[in-house]
Amino acid sequence: MAEEKKAKAVKAAKLADPIKASIDKATQEMIVRAQELGIDTVFDRAENMKPCNIGMQGICCKNCSMGPCRLPLPKGGIEGEDTRKSLCGATANTIAARNFIRMVAGGAAAHSDHGRCVAEVFLSVARKESKDYQIKDTDKLLSIAPYFDVAVTVEVDGEEVDRDIDEIALEVAEKAMNEWGKAEGELYYLKRAPEALYEKWKKQGVLPRNIDREIVEIMHRTHIGVDQDYKNLIKQGTRAAIADGWGGSMLATDLQDVLFGTPYPVQSEANLGVMKEDHVNLILHGHEPVLSEMVVAAAQTPEMVEYAKSKGAKGIQLSGICCTANEILQRHGIPTAATFLQQEMAIITGACDAMVVDIQCIMQNVANVANCFHTKLITTHPIARMEQENVIHIEFDEHHAMEDATKIVKLAIDNFENRRAEVMIPRHKNTQIAGFGVESVEYHLGGSFRGSYYTLNDNIINGRIRGIAGVVGCNNARTRHNEGHIEVVKELIKNDVIVLTTGCNGIACAMEGLLTPEAASVYCGPGLAEVCETVGIPPVLHLGSCVDNSRILLAAAEVVKAGGLGKDISDLPAAGSAPEWMSEKAISIGHYFVVSGVYTVFGYTLPTSGAPVFHDYLSKELENLYGGMWDLEVDPIKHAQKMIAHIDKKRKALGIDRARERVLMDMASRQALEA
């Protein structure tokens, strides 16, 4: 009877229309495949469960057991005074602001706890307690040491000599660890922001004291009966968001670069088609490179490759999903298998011998999908386990990292011969060049003579490059997979705006072929195409994972430093975007972009629309305080056009709007002559 009921429920469930669900051919094929096999994916589930309209608008308070109190907007909107209130009297503004900054807390906690884990590994390396990790990039270590007030030279007999690198490492590691909980002062990295921005933060009283404190204080202030002023609440959200972008995330990026190497451009491929039927497919999914770096190293040892061959495979094909994909791509050129929304599909290929996961963005349903196949699903992190019985837990510990990683690789190899379903790997994949960063952008666009962002600035000033956009963030099953990402990015580059990408936007762009220098002549306006062709770079530069959004902040700070484009990030012809965001991390990122001076547009929705006064505060008033502001635009073309309008506004304010007209005119007349 129960079985019959279940069968009926499955039958009654609506199935996703593959074409409406995704613009990507591989994804469309795999949606069909999953439906043929009777396996539900996130796309089908989105058809059968609608989001709560009141929650979406940010006006449901469930912070005490008298609620949840829901404050729907009256039909026809609010006329006159907004009298909505919860049982305790909290207004819509208070509730929306509380919910919003709790999302900031969640996002900042996720990025920063990731950063803490890297800092712990770095400390144990500096203490010589972890034999399997080493410091790979001493130059990076030396470049960040001064921000922690750690001297890199020492005086011996009246002469300045280089300090011992191990001593520097230990001091940096201890001071970095302290950023999460120091009792006094403010975060060291705040001084990396342009001075004008730092002064704005100081004036507003939002300089973060330590990372953990700002997150804890959000939880306190949003408890029933504490902070009841949306302006004061968002101020704390601002502190925590800055502690994420210029703190936890930036520390994660820097310490990862020190430990695992600073990325430089590498060629690779993206989409499910990177999986190989005749290889052991081991997929790395999650976020922290502490795990994935070791698995990559273990899988590339001759012993493991030989072992795979002894089991009848041609080799080991590693690939990545979500931001772990971006980490192993940018440092090792490991191909990217999937964006967030495709994770179930990687298993549905029938060729995934093992999927190893750590933290963040792992759908619990991958365990159910793995159960339909031979796939071993391996959790590795003590804070992220799964209840399903088929999941294997191998706890990863930096003190015996290589041993753990080898165990994982072996498990995948041993599972190769257990494949039981017909393998169906979609044939779609594309070439990508990834691995850009502050350093490599300087190398490619900086000009060796000036050794700074001078050439980039010059091209912005002369108008070949109209402006800079950071387009980042997730997929969201409530919008057509990758459509927002790709349409926004294409519209921007068509209008000569160079795009810096991270996260799942980076993966989407890679799948679409936008991360190649050749994309410039196909998709870009004439100015950007000329720059990309001259320098040999793609018009969309992949800067890594979500914590690497800190690279975008630092690149913006470098542009300010190079001169000619104002004194603050908010002066730059620049804008930010997350067309398909879904996670709390995206809200934290969005907010630190905004309060760092960037006009930031989100797609899909913002959880503020039910509290118009608070929404207006975020989208209008914040500009007066920090120079940046939030916006929401669902239509991708309008979304990009709003960013371009903001870029043009900034060009005008800088007095460089006419230069662009001249350049494009020159180019047009040149082209006319050539014709």
Binding residues for [4Fe-4S] cluster: 52, 60-61, 64, 69, 88
Kindly tell me which of 259 and 474 has the beta carbon lying closer to ligand BF8. Answer: 474
Dist CA 8 CA 27 (whole Å)? 27
Dist CA 363 CA 355 (whole Å)? 12
Q: What is the dihedral of CA 288, 291, 292, 295, to 10 degrees?
A: 180
Binding-site size, ligand BF8 (CB under 6 A): 13
Q: Of 100, 133, 180, 340, which lies in the binding site for ligand BF8, with binding defined by CB under 6 A?
A: 340
Q: Of 546, 554, 557, 611, which lies in the binding site for ligand BF8, with binding defined by CB under 6 A?
A: 546
| Amino acid at the residue 148 | F
Dist CA 206 CA 169 (whole Å)? 30
Work out how close the CB of 215 gets to ligand BF8 at its nearest, in angstroms, rounded to a whole number. 17
With binding defined as CB under 6 A, does residue 247 bind ligand BF8?
Answer: no
* CA within 13 Å, CB half, 598: 28
Work out how close the CB of 581 gets to ligand BF8 at its nearest, in angstroms, rounded to a whole number. 7
Kindly tell me which of 358 and 633 has the beta carbon lying closer to ligand BF8. Answer: 358
Work out how close the CB of 504 gets to ligand BF8 at its nearest, in angstroms, rounded to a whole number. 4
Kindly tell me which of 99 and 545 has the beta carbon lying closer to ligand BF8. Answer: 545
Work out how close the CB of 474 gets to ligand BF8 at its nearest, in angstroms, rounded to a whole number. 3
Spell out, one character per residue from 490 to 519, where the chain touches ligand BF8: x when CB under 6 A holds, - when not: -------------xx---------------
Work out how close the CB of 49 gets to ligand BF8 at its nearest, in angstroms, rounded to a whole number. 19
Kindly tell me which of 321 and 559 has the beta carbon lying closer to ligand BF8. Answer: 321
Residue 269, token pair as written in the block: 């491929």
Work out how close the CB of 586 gets to ligand BF8 at its nearest, in angstroms, rounded to a whole number. 6
With binding defined as CB under 6 A, does residue 323 bind ligand BF8?
Answer: yes
Work out how close the CB of 293 gets to ligand BF8 at its nearest, in angstroms, rounded to a whole number. 17
Short-list 405, 375, 435, 397, CA closest to 293: 405
Kindly tell me which of 106 and 517 has the beta carbon lying closer to ligand BF8. Answer: 106
Work out how close the CB of 164 gets to ligand BF8 at its nearest, in angstroms, rounded to a whole number. 36
The neighbouring-strand residues paired with 469 are 499, 575
Dist CA 594 CA 447 (whole Å)? 30
With binding defined as CB under 6 A, does residue 381 bind ligand BF8?
Answer: no
Known binding site: residues? 52, 60-61, 64, 69, 88, 287, 323, 361, 474, 504, 546
Q: Of 101, 356, 361, 622, which lies in the binding site for ligand BF8, with binding defined by CB under 6 A?
A: 361
Q: Of 350, 473, 539, 628, which lies in the binding site for ligand BF8, with binding defined by CB under 6 A?
A: 473
Kindly tell me which of 362 and 401 has the beta carbon lying closer to ligand BF8. Answer: 362
Show the 3-state SS of 114-134: HHHHHHHHHHHHHCCCCCCCC
Q: Of 92, 298, 322, 356, which lies in the binding site for ligand BF8, with binding defined by CB under 6 A?
A: 322
The pairing of strands 336-338 and 392-393 is unpaired
Across the beta sheet with 392-393, what order do the strands follow? 392-393, 376-379, 354-357, 280-285, 316-321, 336-338, 266-270, 430-434
DSSP line for 624-656:
HHHS--EEE--SHHHHHHHHHHHHHHHHHHHT-
Dist CA 316 CA 308 (whole Å)? 7
List Cβ neighbours of 161 (8 Å cut-off, separation of 6 or more): 153, 154, 155
Spell out, one character per residue from 183 to 222, where the chain touches ligand BF8: x when CB under 6 A holds, - when not: ----------------------------------------
Kindly tell me which of 130 and 545 has the beta carbon lying closer to ligand BF8. Answer: 545
Work out how close the CB of 285 gets to ligand BF8 at its nearest, in angstroms, rounded to a whole number. 9
Work out how close the CB of 249 gets to ligand BF8 at its nearest, in angstroms, rounded to a whole number. 10
Q: Of 474, 515, 520, 559, which lies in the binding site for ligand BF8, with binding defined by CB under 6 A?
A: 474
Find the DSSP H helices in 38-91: 42-48, 53-56
CA 558 from centre of chain: 20
Show the 3-state SS of 171-228: HHHHHHHHCCCCCCCCCHHHHHCCHHHHHHHHHHCCCCCCHHHHHHHHHHHCCCCCCC
Known binding site for [Ni-4Fe-4S] cluster: residues? 287, 323, 361, 474, 504, 546
Residues from 573 through 632 that contact ligand BF8 (CB under 6 A):
583, 585
- What's the maximum distance between 2 C-alpha atoms anywhere in the chain? 88
Binding site for ligand BF8 (CB under 6 A): 287, 322-323, 340, 361, 473-474, 503-504, 545-546, 583, 585
